Amino acid sequence: MSAFKLSVLLLEEFVVIFFFILILGYLVPCGRAYYLFFLHSDEEKESRRIQDRRPTPQGIRREIWMSLQSILIFSIMGTGLFEMYKAGMTSIYWDTFAYPLYYLPISFFLCLVIQDTIFYWTHRFMHWRPVFKYFHAGHHKSVSPSPWAIFAFQPLEAILQFCCLMLIVIFVPLKPIIFLAFMSYDSMINIAGHTGHEMIPPWMSRHWLFKGFNNVTHHDNHHTNMRCNFGAFFNVWDRWMGTFVDNVAVESTAERSAIHKSELVGKLVEHR
């Protein structure tokens, strides 16, 4: 294949991936969540609001702009990952019987466990003071986030996040339907965690079967107290490492914001 044809092919793949992520991975699900919880709110939804404060228009514009930059980075790296798949350098498989059928749900659970573990430790790393302002400070400008914040990453964080996904695709044998199910679940949890409204009934969060799963309040607490709740799907690593706060965030919005601001400013000032 000539260099020109290869360039055209890569450009076509990039455009398809970019608009797939932009529309189906961002605009549609985030727009729906924003409409339901912020533009079409009611008394019942208000009763589930975690913070008193609302996202500001300026903050939402920042979240969207940062997310668009991240989607661009994801699309570039996604094109490279697709080329790796075409070259047989991933563990994606199509033959349903290549592995026992019971491996299908196991592989989905493996994705959750691996992603949660990688996310916890990379998240802790990005909160390390020497690197915080280069990786993660931008995301934490959203003290009271909106669904538009799900990809509101600085470039280095966006690259790191996608690299974590690449590790799963390269090393974990996955049927495409399982990979799509995992990505859909990851997107759903990410969006829910940035709605500012608790969706999980209290009885479920207290039940022994579900206590290891994060709820919305757990991640919302992280946006107002950067010392806790670093996990994605589960809170097992947070419990083991002593970084778990279970739905007991500071009651006063002013106090929550003051804690966040002092932590954010402290991390940035120390490394100027």
Per-residue model confidence as pLDDT tens for the chain (272 residues): 788 888 999 999 999 999 999 999 999 999 999 999 998 878 888 888 998 888 999 999 999 999 999 999 999 999 999 999 999 999 999 999 999 999 999 999 999 999 999 999 999 999 999 999 999 999 999 999 999 999 999 999 999 999 999 999 999 999 999 999 999 999 999 999 999 999 888 888 888 889 999 999 999 999 999 999 999 999 999 999 999 998 754 444 445 455 555 555 455 545 54
Q: 130-139 — which CB contacts under 8 Å span 24+ positions? A: 130/271, 132/267, 132/268, 132/271, 133/267, 133/268, 133/271, 135/160, 137/264, 137/267, 137/268, 138/66, 139/66
What pTM was estimated for this model as a whole?
0.89
Residue written as tokens 């589960």?
234
E strands present in 78-168 = none
Q: Domain extents for the chain?
A: 3-38+53-200
> Helix or strand or coil: residue 175?
coil
